[in-house]
Amino acid sequence: MSALSEISPWLRCPVCHQELHCSSSHVACASRHSFDIGRQGYVNLLGQAAPANADTAPMVAARDRFLTAGHYQPITDAVAAAVPQARRLVEVGAGTGHHLAGVLEQLPGAHGLAIDVSVPACRRAARAHPRMASVVADTWAGLPLRDHSVDAISCIFAPRNPSEFARVLSDNGVVVVVIPRPDHLLELREAHGLLNLGGDKMERLLQSAHGHLEPVSSTDVSYGLNLSASDATDLVAMGPNAFHGRPAIAATRVAVSVTCVTLTNVGLHSR
C-alpha cells in the first residue's frame, strides 16, 4: 500500500468536507470532487493558486541542501522525543518533509503526512520517506483532515492554526510547536541585515492557543554551528529573507547560534 493510500482515511474534501478515497490516479469524495495525484505522488488540495509567500523551487532546493547536511538534526530529535507514542503524524508547513521523515525514522510503524502551501515543497516531501505522503494545503484556510484523525501535529518555524490543530487531534493527541528564540541566528541576521525576529513569539503563541490547546511542557534547543559560506547562503535562501535578495557571504566559515523552544501542547477536547 502506498503512503498516500495509507493516510487517505485521515483526509477530508476541502470543498464539502466529506471523506476522500484514494485510487491510483486521484483522490475523490462521494460528491465527485476529484484531485489528481501528481507524478511525484503528492495531491494538491489547495483549490486555488498558491499565495505569493509560498516557497519557490530555488528556496526548496536550498532548504533541502541545508537540512540534508544535518544542521537542524537536534530540532528533529526534540520533536521525535515529544511524540513517542504517535502513529498518525502530520507536519504543517513541512517544506521538504525532512523533519517529519526524521521523526518517522525514530517511530517504526508510524505514518506521516506533510502539508505545505508550496507545490515544489510537496513534490519533494512526497518522496522523502516511504511511510510519508504530502498534500498541498493552506494551514490558515483549514486543514484537509477529518475531525480527531491524527495523533500528533508538528509545526516547525511555520504558521499555526490552533483551532484547526485541536479539531483534528485524536484523544490524547499532542501538538509540538517549534519557535525561534530572539537570538536565533542572530550573528547572521546582524551581519547581513536580515529580517528581525519578534521577541513576543511565545506570548502570541500562547494567546492564539488559548481555549484550543494547553501547554504541558517545553524543551530548549540551543547549540552553535560553524557553517561554510555555501551552507550559510542556503540558510538565508531557504527562508523569508529569500524574497528580499540574497546577501553575498564572503567569509569562509560563519558561526551562528541555533536557539529555539519546542513547546508540547494537548488538545483541550481530549481532557
Closest CA to 50 of 110, 140, 128, 129: 140
Would you identify the CATH topology of the domain 3-270? Rossmann fold (3.40.50)
pLDDT above 90 (res 36) = yes
Strands 132-136 and 43-44: parallel
Residue 250: per-residue pLDDT: 60
Residue 151: per-residue pLDDT: 97
pLDDT above 60 (res 270) = no
Residue 126: per-residue pLDDT: 96
For 162-220, what is each residue's pLDDT tens digit? Answer: 999 999 999 989 999 999 998 999 888 888 777 777 767 788 888 889 899 999 999 99
Mean pLDDT of the chain: 91
In the numeric block, the cell 541542501 is attached to: 65
Task: Give 248's contacts (C-beta < 8 A, 6+ positions apart).
Answer: none
For 53-89, what is each residue's pLDDT tens digit? Answer: 899 999 999 999 999 999 999 999 999 999 999 999 9
Residue 264: per-residue pLDDT: 92
Residue 242: per-residue pLDDT: 80
Q: For the whole model, what pTM was predicted? A: 0.93
pLDDT above 70 (res 248) = no
Strands 213-228 and 253-267: antiparallel
Assign 28 to helix, strand or coil: strand
pLDDT above 60 (res 1) = no
Q: How far apart are CA 21 and CA 191, in angstroms?
A: 50
